[in-house]
Amino acid sequence: MKIQSRLPDVGTSIFTVMSRMALEHGAINLSQGFPDFMIDEEIISLVHKYMLSGNNQYAPMPGTPELRNAIASVIADSFGRTMDPETEITITAGATEGTYSIIAAFISPGDEVIIFDPAYDSYNPVVRLNGGIPRHINLNKADFSIPWEDVIAQINARTRMIIINTPHNPSGAVLREKDLQQLQEIVLENNLLVLSDEVYERLIFDDVRHQSVLRYPALAERSLAVFSFGKTFHATGWKVGYVAAPAYLTSEVRRAHQFVAFSVNTPVQLALAEYLQNPAHYLSLGSFYQQKRDFFLEQIKGSSFEPMASHGSYFQLLSYKNISNKPEVEMSIELTKKFKVASIPISVFYQDKTDNRILRFCFAKKEETLEKACTILRSL
């Protein structure tokens, strides 16, 4: 049978490619974004407790009431927004499934979705799979801020949604209050929806405040915010996230979610609900990762790499313009195979393959891992 691919230009994820290459060549893997240290033993014990107590069958489709109630409390404390856990919070199989369910729920054939590049690689394919048309706008080169004048120029009668991501992957940039105010004005004026990817909400540095769409009442009424426990609690393999949105939007997301994942594993949900009762488990994460970022930057001193500002996430961009003129993909491959440090080329996050000789490094690693990698990078 001849199959016509709906995504003919999509191959294996760059994260999979670089991690496999790192393994094959014995390189230190600073490419894929996951920690190499243990998660808190307390939460492991809680998962075990709920497994032993018999909580191993399907959870309710929207998520366990215990976890949704806990999330509602955290949102109220963090962003000053009261949300109904019964109708406005949905537990998803990671942020990726949450993002997919949102786009599947609201994007119809011909609808246009504004995406900012460099962009996380799932946005574009999911929009296309649902018949939508991605409209990519490059972020400002110097600081990865949003060029709002370009956004206004791009909007037309077919524009349905804007996707934002703060703290930003891959750059580590964060949106500020003025950005959210500008977004709110544009959204209200043009009757648009916002998908706000906030998976790194707790990983934010330098006394910067996370500007969630949930902080802005008028904007929140048109927004769907996506979060990730995997990022927050160093357990990316658990694939547990959630979507927070007004009831009239949540009801549509759940129509899609029930046929994509239906529900998320029960004992982990119950463990997370109990773990969230102690705010110290998540309020200290910014300082924890800032220490790792600062350690990485200290270790890279004396090299020819130039670090770019990172105020959030667990990624640090390094420019190698003083080292080589090679394209980013080629440089990343050479760094992995020859020098044994794996990174991600930023050009793969752009639809137009913009190449500014910048690589992304993940610093969510043990200090000995970072020290070993930076010793190599200083030698280039």
**Distances 222 to 77, 99, 203, 249, 365 between C-alpha atoms, Å:** 21, 15, 25, 8, 37
Question: Using CA atoms in the order 48, 49, 54, 59, what is the torsion angle rounded to 10 degrees?
Answer: -80
Each residue's pLDDT tens digit, 81-133? 999 999 999 999 999 999 999 999 999 999 999 999 999 999 999 999 999 99
Residue 343 has what pLDDT? 96
DSSP string, 172-239: -----HHHHHHHHHHHHHHT-EEEEE-TTTT-B-TTPPP--GGGSHHHHTTEEEEEEHHHHTT-GGG-
Indicate the CATH number for domain 57-278. 3.40.640.10
Long-range Cβ contacts of 330-336 (<8 Å, 24+ apart): 331/357, 331/359, 332/18, 332/31, 332/359, 333/21, 335/359, 336/18, 336/21, 336/22, 336/25, 336/27, 336/31
Confidence of residue 2 (pLDDT cuts 50, 70, 90): confident
Look up the pTM and report it: 0.96
Residue 32 has what pLDDT? 84
**Alpha carbon distance 250, 227 (integer Å):** 14
**Alpha carbon distance 247, 7 (integer Å):** 32
For residue 28, is pLDDT > 80? yes
Each residue's pLDDT tens digit, 29-46? 999 888 888 999 999 999
Residue 59 has what pLDDT? 98
Q: Round the average pLDDT of the chain to a whole number and report it.
A: 96
Q: What is the mean pLDDT of residues 318-335?
A: 96
Q: Which of 253, 218, 212 is nearest to 89 (CA)?
A: 253
Confidence of residue 152 (pLDDT cuts 50, 70, 90): very high
Each residue's pLDDT tens digit, 345-377? 999 999 999 999 999 999 999 999 999 999 999
Please determine, looking at this structure, whether the domain spanning 14-32+284-378 carries the CATH number 3.40.50.970.
no
**Domains of the chain, residue spans:** 14-32+284-378, 57-278
Each residue's pLDDT tens digit, 237-278? 999 999 999 999 999 999 999 999 999 999 999 999 999 999
